[in-house]
Structure 1
């Protein structure tokens, strides 16, 4: 019977081709692999995030109060729920990537089921906390009108919470297998359909900001259904998805020990941004400050999807290579991403500077909001330069650390088992 944990063995075959022009060809080959993987992945993450962004844009044209309420609600939801679930799901990049590299394909489906189960359980207390959003925000001193508007928006967003976890699990499951084109196509189709869904719920049915939030849940559900059908029917997932298994209920504590640090790694960074939006409600003229700061945070988060996708591709490459027992190739993948992250940061930062005077009109027709955003975009471009490099590198090196931690844990468990076996043999001998 195959063991659940993939065993990492190191080979000596990766030293080939390093003489003469071999090293250059290895670097170019790694760049091509990462770009081939990162391109659709970046597009998929961008399109997935745009769904939530378009909902906010629809709300922004309803009025300043509605935009402020939806902004605070989105930040509150991100801090307390979406960042937690997304961070825990990133542990699949390590587990599934390693298993795929070690050619223990059946483990990918087990890991995915286990993650979906755990993330669904975590969503229950989070949803209970969301039911008291208005009271919580008012207790922290938020403007009463903004707190009430945020409570209305987050009620419509609650169904999206239970879809967001499984959706992320499917994305990471496919990403670990280098199957990223379906993720991009699914996100693209969902983003295209999200506009008429928003119009139907917000304008035609007159549901207002709550309708925009509910549209997010509907689009996430459509995206999840598309990916679930693909996993079930695609020949590329035939060996990695073999149906539901009771093994998914085993090893949950080990998964939690890996998922919690992964979640904290992502949450701390997200919280540092989103808490600014929550605190902006305490400033003079809270409606304007909250709306503008939320737009700025959403803008830099949208831009961050590019290095985030690049980091995800690098994590997959590192996990695959370590799982296959090629640590030098994993080190090369981590080195190549340094150059790519700097290039991405410069290009995206330049784009942010060029569109600074027009970007505000996507969210609001208020000239005060548009001019305020134009001034903030220059600061965002500089901030993005450093945040991009930090995000990519921390993601890649964290995956390596998690794999090393797994190796050390298995080594310790193996020694303990050997020790217990020796004692048992001694007892039998006596």
Structure 2
């Protein structure tokens, strides 16, 4: 018995080490990628209030209609590439990635058209016409970054699922430094204003994409997974789309809710105050979300690798370790926000009324950070297993059948205003966690391994036997 417990503890420690080795770098990659838009907005903020409002509105819209869509579609590669790598079908990583690149590049065309005619769309949803005009101009200058962003998302998944993360840290870190220099040069020195901020994002995104593409092309680490361009990639596009569509819905249904909360805050009494406070809260959530997202990326990689290798027991162990890390991160983030309860708002504003309001929101914000850490990890589990379709239904029900209606009732009927809007998000997060918990606990991991085998073109029967043998060995 003692020997068995010792073996179990050793396996847990080994899995924990693997996930931390992946999660740490992915947190930095996420922060560096997120910093591009944030740094651009910071430089625009030194111009004037109208340009800042236009750039902020434009950023919000391009995220909702463009970057988040591409992120959702590329998330299907968490399943395909991760499981193919685990099954040692190394050349298929390149094949799946090429197919995804082709699809995402095509998708950028209609998105670009939407961005060109952004102003009338924003006016229809009751945004200020002057700000909408500036947002449209900002979005138009961001169009060249779209295709680069799509390619970069695919490249990131390609490397991540092979556990190649440190080159991404170096590339994105270097890109962030370059971006600061570009913003300083274009916005302040050359006098291009917020156009320069958008141009800087385009150049930085392409720079990051090219650096990582060159790494893949020349690095011996990718010689088995990237064997050159292949026509075979086109044959796997239908399979990719079947998973990419629900994957996109899973990501966008959640992100669109946050944009909707900002729009609803504008309909509240004293809209300027409510919108400012909610924006601070949502930006805080976005900053703190980077840590559990790194855990989620590590978890999806480990789970998909083990399922692809036909090891359901190890895959389930990876799930447990992922959730343990997410729980720990959630507790740390909750404690950090509560410690900063009365001073956090000063990082964003010196207006007394806003500071008092933000302080009153902090317990809700801290609670949401803890719950969000768990649900983000569960979504990583879903991507690793290929549960994107189920995840899309969970997010639809959590946010649009429960969360948003609850927000409207508490904010407008019960007059809790911004607190009510954010309480709806917290409710949706809780429902998400409970639904994914039930799905995970009820999952048959040997069946999941067989599904992974079929997905990568292997034999489900052989994988079933392998997993049984593995269970015998581990017990």
TM-score, normalised by the number of residues in structure 2: 0.78
Q: Is the 2:83–2:452 Cα contact (8 Å) retained in structure 1?
A: no
Distance 1:295 1:238, change over 3 A: same
The correspondence for 1:125, drawn from 101, 105, 110, is: 110
Q: Which moved more, 1:191-200 or 1:168-177?
A: 191-200
Query: Can you give the 5+ residue segments of structure 1 that lack an aligned partner in the other structure?
Result: 1-16, 416-430
| Closer/same/farther in 2, CA of residues 373 and 64 from structure 1, 3 Å limit | farther
Offset, 1:367: 6.2
Structure 2 equivalent of residue 23 of structure 1: 8
Partner of 2:308: 323
Matched, 1:209 2:194: yes
Distance 1:329 1:339, change over 3 A: same
In 1, are the aligned partners of 2:145 and 2:205 still within 8 Å (CA)?
yes
Pairing 1:136–2:133 present:
no
C-alpha deviation, 1:84, in angstroms: 0.8
1:351 equivalent among 301, 319, 336: 336
Q: Contact (CA 8 Å) 1:92, 1:173: kept in 2 or not?
A: yes
- Which position in structure 1 is the counterpart of 2:261? 276
The aligned counterpart of 2:81 is 96
- 1:10 alignment counterpart: none
How far apart in 2 are the matches of 1:266 and 1:326?
28
Cα separation, 2, equivalents of 1:411 and 1:190: 34
Deviation at residue 149 of structure 1 after TM alignment? 2.4
Q: CA RMSD in A?
A: 2.7
2:443 match:
none
Deviation at 1:379, TM superposition (A): 3.1
1:52 to 8, 20, 37: 37
CA distance in 2, matches of 1:45, 1:83: 14
1:156 and 2:172 are equivalent in the alignment: no
Q: CA offset at residue 101 of structure 1?
A: 0.7
1:225 to 195, 210, 218: 210
Structure 1 residues 28 and 370, CA gap change in structure 2 (3 angstroms) = same
Cα distance in 1 between the residues matched to 2:275 and 2:134: 13
Confirm or deny: 8 A CA contact 2:171 2:208 kept in the other structure: yes
Residues 29 and 168 in structure 2, CA contact (< 8 A), matched pair in contact too: yes
Change (3 A) 1:374 1:131: farther
Distance 1:356 1:152 in 2: 38
Gap runs ≥5 in structure 2: 388-447, 461-475
After superposition, the Cα gap between the structure-2 partners of 1:410 and 1:325, relative to the gap in structure 1 and judged at 3 Å, is: closer
Indicate the residue corresponding to 2:239 in structure 1: 254
- 5 Å-filtered alignment, 1:7-406, equals 19-283=4-268, 289-355=274-340, 373-402=358-387, 406=451
CA 1:66–1:410: 2 relative to 1, 3 Å: closer
Aligned equivalents of 1:212, 1:405: Cα separation in 2: 49
Distance 1:411 1:153, change over 3 A: closer
Seen in structure 2, the aligned counterparts of structure 1 residues 164 and 285 have a Cα distance that, compared at 3 Å, is: farther
**For 2:172 and 2:456, how far apart are their aligned partners in 1?**
41
If the length of structure 1 is used for normalisation, what is the TM-score? 0.85
Query: Distance between the aligned counterparts of 2:371 and 2:330, measured in 1?
Result: 8
| 2:186–2:193 CA contact under 8 A, matched in 1 | yes
Q: Give the paired residue count.
A: 399
| Paired residues of 1:345 and 1:385 also in contact (CA < 8 A) | yes
CA shift at 1:299, angstroms? 2.5
Residue 20 of structure 1 aligns to a residue whose secondary structure is helix
- Aligned residue for 1:61, secondary structure, equals coil
